Structure 1
Amino acid sequence: MVAFLSGYPRKEVDRLRRSYMKEVNKSEGFDVSGLPVPDSAPGLTEHICNDTCSPLILLYAKLGLHRYNLVQGKNLQPSSVKKYNKSMGSVNSSYYITLVAIDPATQLLQTFQTRVNELRYGELVLECCTARPLGETHICGIKKSSDHKPVEDLLHTFPEWPPKNPFKKSKRCYVLKKSELRENDDWIRLYLELAVAASNRDTLENHLVSNLKIVKVAIDTTSTQEGLDLFAIVYIRYKDSCEARVGKDVDRVAVVRRFFNEGMGSFSLVGQNLGIIQKKSNKQLLRFKPWLLYTPRWRLKAYRHSGLTLSRRVPKTRSMEFFLSQFTFRDDFTKKGKESECETVL
């Protein structure tokens, strides 16, 4: 429960707000039990997870563990989520999650804390700057150093498709073998599930993401960023059999960019997913492939919401109407929910 304080003089409200934030900062946002939230304060609401927890919170908890394992070279796995605190006042929320993690090698349980920030609602733009076992100290802030390159542009731009099909062998992209895909299935599936969950917030509670089938995975081998460690762009081709979520748009592709900036202490995921939709024309059956939209004369960017945005001018020999008539795009936000086998009872 959150208690709001009202009817106090302005000076008293300011004092209560400072006192509240002082108590919140003591636990870095992970313990706000019983704290009354002053008016207009950036408060946190506490949610206790007993036997069940939101699928989105479970994915965010896994993201925090993944960040810790990747940076520290560990192999902690999630056991259960105990509670989480959610920021108020904006559709983009910050989540302070307390969970129980297990070390498969020793079977020891330990309490783990992670903070995940949503930088855009309805899109995969996530930042995780706190991920540690309980008792370890960590400050989520920016260290001003000339050795580290700012990453604001990476947080506000989606990764683009390469000029050629990333799922075919090339100098730019490496396609994972089946054995390599099995070895890395945990984090690849996490990226895919987060990409799907982020763009289906309204239906996530009722429609599972565990039914996603990964077909092919490619990793961009040419992408490097100065001052950024653990930088990678991953292309995932998958099938989504949930009719309530994608209709008949079963064949889909996702692109996810991850990066960890040591200067900021921040691990981030930015990505999007698109459908591969067939449309029959007079001559042939065309298939939408994002990488085929890059040509010397024009370049079109594929976005998750409405399909395409013109980046360069289309040649006069072919009108925009003619070009767009060759393709069909699905808007994930205009689909109505349907009953299907992907629903689950919570």
Structure 2
Amino acid sequence: MVAFLSGYPRKEVDRLRRSYMKEVNKSEGFDVSGLPVPDSAPGLTEHICNDTCSPLILLYAKLGLHRYNLVQGKNLQPSSVKKYNKSMGSVNSSYYITLVAIDPATQLLQTFQTRVNELRYGELVLECCTARPLGETHICGIKKNSDHKPVEDLLHTFPEWPPKNPFKKSKRCYVLKKSELRENDDWIRLYLELAVAASNRDTLENHLVSNLKIVKVAIDTTSTQEGLDLFAIVYIRYKDSCEARVGKDVDRVAVVRRFFNEGMGSFSLVGQNLGIIQKKSNKQLLRFKPWLLYTPRWRLKAHRHSGLTLSRRVPKTRSMEFFLSQFTFRDDFTKKGKESECETVL
């Protein structure tokens, strides 16, 4: 419940705002129970989960645990989400999540806190700056000499597609074996589910993502970024059987970039997903694959046989933004006239 203060003199409202923010900062945003939100203040709304919680919040809670495990070398697993506080005033929200985590080795339960910031609505651009067991201090504070530029640049650009098929063995990309995929399924699936959930916020709020089937996974072994740790670009080929979300384009790909800046204390995920369009022409089946558009023969073939609209020439940049802006993809987000065949969960 959020209480708003109105009808107070201006000076009194300013005093109440300062008092409110002081109380919020004491708990770093994780405990706002009973705090009235002054008018026009950047307030937080409290949500108690009880036995159920939004699947999107569950994904954000898993992201916080993943960040903690990756940085600290731990293996905490989510048990349940107790509550979360959500920022108001913007479509891009910050979530202050309190959950219960379990250590599989000892079976001990502990309260865990994490903060996840949405930097863009409807796209996978997430930042996790706080992830810790309750009682621990914030181990990743911002250092005075931290270089913010690498992080800012990566948050405003989507990861690139390689010039060749990333799911075939090459010097640039390593394709995971089935055994390796099973060993790393938890975080790979988390990245994929976040990419799908983030880009489908407007379709009946969200759809169940547990039906996603991972086909192949490749990791760019040549990508590095100076000043950043845990840097990686992951390519995921998967099938999505939810017709209300993707129509007939069940064969899809996702690309996710992750990086961690110790000085800023930020762990970030940036990525997108899109369909591999199949079209028949002259008894041929042309499978549109983004990485093939750098080969002149395939650009010409795509133009002649698939009906895709090409610009005069394909520039050297290989960002996902370029592909989405230059080509007409099937609309995955406005399937009118169809009833959802997936369980609506948000």
- TM-score normalized by the length of structure 2: 0.89
Quote how far apart the aligned CAs of 1:160 are: 1.3
Q: Distance in 1 between matches of 2:17 and 2:299?
A: 51
C-alpha deviations, 1:116-148, integer Å up to 9, x for none? 000000000000010000001117653232677
Quote how far apart the aligned CAs of 1:201 are: 1.2
With a CA cutoff of 8 Å and minimum separation of 6, indicate the structure with the bigger relative contact order: 2
Quote how far apart the aligned CAs of 1:326 are: 13
Indicate conservation of the 8 Å contact 1:20/1:35, yes or no. yes
Indicate conservation of the 8 Å contact 2:161/2:319, yes or no. no
Report the equivalent of 1:235. Answer: 235
Q: Distance in 1 between matches of 2:345 and 2:84?
A: 22
Quote how far apart the aligned CAs of 1:304 are: 23
Q: Cα distance 1:141–1:329, how it changes in 2: closer, same or farther (>3 A)?
A: same
C-alpha deviations, 1:313-340, integer Å up to 9, x for none? 3599999999999986212233237335
Q: Distance in 2 between matches of 1:305 and 1:89?
A: 47
Indicate conservation of the 8 Å contact 1:55/1:204, yes or no. no
C-alpha deviations, 1:25-62, integer Å up to 9, x for none? 00000000000000110000000001110010000000
5+ residue gaps, structure 1, are none
User: Would you tell me which structure has more helix in proportion to its own residues?
Assistant: 2
What's the RMSD between the two structures over aligned residues? 4.7
Q: Distance in 2 between matches of 1:3 and 1:322?
A: 45
Q: Cα distance 1:244–1:135, how it changes in 2: closer, same or farther (>3 A)?
A: same
Indicate conservation of the 8 Å contact 2:56/2:197, yes or no. yes
Q: Cα distance 1:242–1:126, how it changes in 2: closer, same or farther (>3 A)?
A: same
Name the stretch that deviates more: 51-60 or 275-284: 275-284
Name the stretch that deviates more: 199-208 or 61-70: 199-208
SS for the counterpart of 1:286 is strand
Indicate conservation of the 8 Å contact 1:206/1:344, yes or no. yes
Q: Distance in 1 between matches of 2:304 and 2:23?
A: 41
Indicate conservation of the 8 Å contact 2:92/2:121, yes or no. yes
Name the stretch that deviates more: 287-296 or 182-191: 287-296
- TM-score normalized by the length of structure 1: 0.89
Q: Cα distance 1:152–1:313, how it changes in 2: closer, same or farther (>3 A)?
A: same
5+ residue gaps, structure 2, are none
Q: Distance in 1 between matches of 2:96 and 2:305?
A: 29
C-alpha deviations, 1:205-241, integer Å up to 9, x for none? 5621000000000000000000100000000000001
Indicate conservation of the 8 Å contact 1:279/1:327, yes or no. no
Name the stretch that deviates more: 24-33 or 296-305: 296-305
C-alpha deviations, 1:156-190, integer Å up to 9, x for none? 11101100000000000000000000000000000
Indicate conservation of the 8 Å contact 1:245/1:337, yes or no. no
Name the stretch that deviates more: 46-55 or 140-149: 140-149
